[in-house]
Chain A
């Protein structure tokens, strides 16, 4: 642990964590550049970078900035948001499986979006809004049901109630899909898998704006979050306002999931895997929020790159789902861990 002090502000940093963050950011950026280069008209990575620096020719520039860059940006930002919110919820529930995609928040967000797509027929803005509303309402319901006086909300109870909520909402989602015209239903099912296909700036920009607010809101109380893992009493003794921190982080975490799902659909397993991988990479205890966020971005961008280069067009959610399966079997079967 090193400390930098300048003009009365002190910043603590740890060399290994900083190095891991640097590498993760580089991996994410490389994957994104390769994603931009992939397609029917392949563009070499140096040319992509040239365009990004504002020095490409006009045709390439059109393909890059108008057609492909939004997809890459959406992938990076959605991955970032999912990784960060996964770290928040795993820390709050003190359970590695307490990620928003297993405890129903992502499913609820999808329900909101599906209702808009299939029933009300609203446009992109309306879909985003109802996706956010779905996540918020689900989170609120799960919290209220899991809340018990004295015991608060954290722990396995929260996760199990979330699993029940997810099962219920999945039934509702399937129901909505059976009620739609085949074409709409197919489109909705594609969206439900989590996909970055055909994303344009109307998805990327709102996501970026949401993250500009939510990421600082999540990172600022990070220190208190780490202490919360010591147990509520210990944290309180150290002067951490436990319930307030938890409430603020929960709001930020739900917002992050909702924003990511609205833009990319309910991509599975990124929120579950990223925080765990980040923990192992940094070899540090506690919630590693920034490394988790960067891991999420690197994971989703790489998965999208894989999806683009498979012989059949697959939505990115299928890639993360399958990778997530392998990862999960490993996570659950490491002896002595939960």
Chain B
């Protein structure tokens, strides 16, 4: 695990200024990578679309051209959703890790996805709705409930909420939720048909209204999370030091949790449960730029959509009939998690 000393932000007061300007090269590089991935996501996929048709397809599709319609109706919403969901999950992971001071914290592993999934399937079964806006609210409620439950369980007992205890509590709560989700699904075979596709986590088959409906929540969560960068740095010093620096740890935790729930709830409602992205992105970013949240948060925001869209594109080309995004992130993310666990000082967990 990352030692507390490495989590500490720079101490000298003169470095408290706008530090984003300190890494203009990194920002430009990531922004370029994001643009490239977006372009690739628009250009690559099943269905023959000549490169010349991509740009017209995005902006003013010609009704007669099948290729341009594919770009406009399928790939454009998928790509936009990928950017939004990726940003949301990467940022949520970074905020969660800062809040819990736990490099293994991850929305998927800490039960948040499982809670959202259970709430969604319950709502479908109980009210027979098939409306994404309702999914979003259900996913929020489920995500928030699960996050609180996992934290309560993980924090009880000797030693408080250590990284391993939280992951274990999350795994256990996830197991309970998935048993209950399966139960509800089997009672109501009608829900099963659609839910089995949502359950995998995918960007495919979502249209523009889906993107537009979750967008406000993701934007709100993103702004809130970015505004918390400095208080999160203070929290990283420990509660007492944070208080001495004039920040309020309780308020930071509450607002941070709100941001995580907004981001995860919206992302999960739109794309289904996607694991390990929230783990991988802040980890990679922290390795590159250090522990200052004023760098970690914006860089996570830029890097996560690159990886999510990359996974999505990989899924489109690697198998006939497409591999869902959630499968690809799980298969790429799990090995990284294993590496982190092996490297860490697990003796004292």
Contacts and interface: CB of A to CB of B under 8 A. Distances in A.
Interface in B105-162: 108-109, 152-154, 156-158
A87 B326 CA distance: 33
Interface stretch (A112-120, A183-191, A222-230): A183-191
B175 A269 contact: yes
Given A156-B346, A318-B183, A324 B175 contact: yes
A182 B175 contact: no
Interface centre among A156, A170, A314, A338 (most CB of B within 10 A): A156
Contacts of A336: 157-158
Nearest to A172: B327
Interface string B76-107: 00000000000000000000000000001000
B327 A321 contact: no
Interface string A151-177: 000011101110111111011101101
A97 B180 contact: no
Contacts of B179: 193, 268-269, 317-318, 320-322, 324-325
B147 to A, nearest CB: 15
B219 interface: no
B108 A321 contact: no
Contacts of A145: 338, 342
Contacts of B180: 318, 321-322, 325
A335 interface: yes
A156 B193 CA distance: 38
Given A160-B104, A161-B338, A178 B183 contact: no
Interface in A303-338: 312, 314-315, 317-318, 320-322, 324-325, 328-329, 332-338
A180 to B, nearest CB: 9
A313 to B, nearest CB: 9
Contacts of A167: 108-109, 275-276, 330, 334
B176 interface: yes
Interface string A184-222: 011001101100000000000000000000000000000
B185 interface: yes
Contacts of B71: none
Contact of A159 (B168, B169, B187, B338): B168
Contacts of B158: 335-338
Contacts, number: 161
Given A171-B331, A193-B179, A321-B176, A163 B186 contact: no
Contacts of B341: 157, 160-161, 164
Nearest to A157: B346
Contacts of A102: 168, 171-172, 175
Size bracket of the A interface: 35 or more
A101 B171 CA distance: 10
B23 interface: no
Contacts of A269: 175, 179
A281 B201 CA distance: 43
Contact of B324 (A165, A178, A314): A178
Contacts of B201: 171
A325 B331 CA distance: 28
A156 B338 CA distance: 12
A138 B276 CA distance: 19
A170 B199 CA distance: 10
A321 B346 contact: no
B167 A163 contact: yes
A332 B157 contact: yes
A314 B186 CA distance: 8
Contacts of A156: 164, 346, 349
A178 B197 contact: yes
A156 B331 CA distance: 22
Nearest to B108: A167
B175 A155 contact: no
A148 interface: yes
Contacts of A320: 179
A333 B338 contact: no
B210 interface: no
Contacts of A338: 157-158, 165
Nearest to A162: B171
A233 to B, nearest CB: 15
Interface in B303-335: 321, 323-324, 326-327, 330-331, 334
Contact of B156 (A175, A178, A182, A335): A335
Interface string B193-216: 100110111000000000000000
B192 A186 contact: yes
Given A312-B187, A332-B154, A171 B192 contact: no
A164 B186 contact: no
A81 B346 CA distance: 30
Interface in A230-284: 268-269, 272
A175 B323 contact: yes
B238 interface: no
Nearest to B106: A167
A322 B330 contact: no
B334 A164 contact: yes
B200 A171 contact: yes
Contacts of A314: 183, 186-187
22 contacts: A97-B171, A102-B172, A102-B175, A159-B168, A170-B330, A171-B200, A171-B201, A175-B327, A178-B197, A192-B182, A314-B183, A318-B182, A324-B175, A325-B176, A328-B172, A328-B176, A332-B153, A332-B157, A333-B152, A333-B156, A334-B157, A337-B158
Given A335-B156, A338-B165, 9 more contacts: A97-B171, A97-B172, A156-B164, A161-B342, A171-B200, A268-B179, A315-B186, A318-B180, A329-B153
Interface of B: 104, 108-109, 152-154, 156-158, 164-165, 167-169, 171-173, 175-176, 178-180, 182-183, 185-187, 189, 192-193, 196-197, 199-201, 275-276, 321, 323-324, 326-327, 330-331, 334, 337-338, 341-342, 346-347, 349
The 6 closest A-B pairs by CB, nearest first: A321-B179, A325-B176, A318-B183, A171-B330, A168-B334, A333-B156
